[in-house]
A and B are shown apart, each in its own frame.
Chain A
Amino acid sequence: MILEMKNIRKSFGSLQVLRDISLCVDSGEAVSIIGPSGSGKSTLLRCATFLERVDGGEIRYLGRAACTGEGEYASTNELRELRRAFGLVFQSFNRFPHYSVLKNITEAPMLVQKRDKEEVLETAMGLLRKMGLESKRNAYPCQLSGGQQQRVAIARALCMKPDILFFDEPTSALDPELTGEVLKVIKQLAEENMTMVIVTHEMPFARAVSDRVIFMDGGVIVEQGEPEQVFGQPTQERTKQFLRNYER
């Protein structure tokens, strides 16, 4: 098991955003999370990546505890180690504007993971080739389209060699004609059995790439299962209602 999240609770003030959510992800699995906006999808990913602290519940990566019980977190050092297990691709890219494409991708592996420069450069160039951005390695993010910037962000996360990669609506900030190129890259990762959790509103995409689909609403998992089941024969009324908005 790469990721185990159990009975996660999270509130912002009096607003309970996650109510007893559990999410386990196996190696090689691609999990999509769908649901209306405000249902707590981003918050779930932010808790999984330690950007938010949970109020209660357990988080484990590769069996090692990041957080147990009533939100008791492991030591700073242990959390730093555990961060190596995951990567996160943001909706708004968050690329570093003052770095070239290549430096965006290579700095963290060299600076944080202290990996060998040659090896990192080679890995980075391989990823850029895969993303179709080889010729852009010396460009700056502002010279790239949104779709290219998001592919840089994906390469940046992958160069850290994470065990699991989280995507928070990776195409929501893109013009419709640019979403395809990013989805194609994610699809390719799924085919290579990269372990992924993808929050998305692209239903046909979720149906095509995921091994499991989770429908979230109001801070709980309403329904989950294989894509054909969740999209084809949803059992819950709320799921049906939500999916109806995406037909046409």
Chain B
Amino acid sequence: MSFSTMLSTMAAGMLRTCAIFFLTLLGSLPLGLGIMLLRRSKNRLVSSLTRVFIAVIRGTPLMLQLLVWYFGPYYLFGASIKGWRFPAILVAFIVNYAAYFAEIYRGGVESIGVGQYEAAEVLGYSRSQTFLKIILPQVIKRILPSITNEFITLVKDTSMAFTLAYQEVFSLAKQISASQTSFMPFVIAGVFYFIANYAVAFAMERCEKALSYYN
């Protein structure tokens, strides 16, 4: 297999890796917000249950969660898992990352002084207006560095989809390397992850710059 065939075969895997990455963010960034709101709920039961949920998600390996989400429906309900591979991967990643994002959001929200809420309240902002207009924008600025870290971890974590034999870059690299007895696929995969993370870091730095007009 020539280098260019190798590259083009792996390109499909790169696309799948990117799909996991972007779809995970698309799902987990908003879901994390919802989980954070539940975690901060005044209802004791709701906030405790959410805390346990977050503890479980953060306290068990993502690889295990992938297996549970994929095989769970079969073992628990005897359901057919045909065509469930990619959705299961997304669910596992989204739920996992949402738990982390929820805690990052919570740290950000709790770092905003009570004065901001009180000023908004006296001016007549409703609770949702206060959150969306006053609190959230300031939270985003504060948590951006932690979010960047999660993004970079996610780029690398996508390789765990390999557990479910999903043909993303890492799985393909391993397969091609074995069949061609070549080390090159691993080099290609490594360069791909590095470039992807470089792009992520670059984009996030631009975001931080864009928000640096105030402190």
Contact = CB atoms under 8 A, between A and B. Distances in A.
A108 B214 contact: no
B115 A94 contact: yes
B118 A90 contact: yes
A80 interface: yes
A112 B122 contact: no
Contacts of A67: none
B115 A160 contact: no
Given A107-B133, A111-B129, A111-B133, A94 B124 contact: no
Contacts of B134: 96
Interface string A104-120: 00011001110000000
B125 interface: yes
Given A96-B134, A97-B138, A87 B122 contact: yes
A222 to B, nearest CB: 28
B77 interface: no
Contacts, number: 53
Contacts of A96: 116, 119, 134
A53 interface: no
A60 interface: no
B125 A111 contact: yes
Contact of A98 (B121, B123, B129, B214): B214
B141 A98 contact: yes
Given A111-B133, A112-B124, A156-B123, A140 B213 contact: yes
B137 interface: yes
B32 to A, nearest CB: 21
Interface string B121-150: 111110001000110011001000000000
Contact of A140 (B115, B124, B137, B214): B214
Given A90-B119, A92-B115, A97 B124 contact: no
A194 B125 CA distance: 24
A62 interface: no
14 contacts: A51-B121, A80-B124, A83-B124, A86-B122, A90-B118, A90-B119, A94-B118, A95-B119, A96-B116, A98-B137, A98-B141, A111-B129, A113-B124, A160-B123
B125 A108 contact: yes
Contacts of A51: 118, 121-122
Contact of B214 (A49, A87, A142): A142
Contacts of A83: 122, 124
A137 interface: no
Interface residues of B, number: 19
Given A90-B115, A98-B141, A112 B123 contact: yes
Interface of A: 49-51, 80, 83-84, 86-88, 90, 92, 94-98, 107-108, 111-113, 140-142, 156-157, 160
Contacts of B116: 94, 96
B215 interface: yes
Interface in B82-140: 113, 115-116, 118-119, 121-125, 129, 133-134, 137-138
Nearest to B124: A112
Contacts of A141: 214
- Which 8 residue pairs spanning A and B have beta carbons closest together? A94-B119, A112-B124, A94-B115, A108-B123, A140-B214, A88-B122, A98-B137, A83-B124
A94 B115 CA distance: 6
Given A98-B137, A98-B141, A108 B213 contact: no
Contacts of A84: 124
A84 to B, nearest CB: 7
Contacts of A49: 122
Contacts of A87: 122
Contacts of B118: 51, 90, 94
A87 B122 CA distance: 7
Contacts of B119: 90, 94-96
B138 A98 contact: yes
Interface in B186-215: 213-215
B214 A112 contact: no
Contact of A112 (B125, B137, B138): B125
Contacts of B138: 97-98
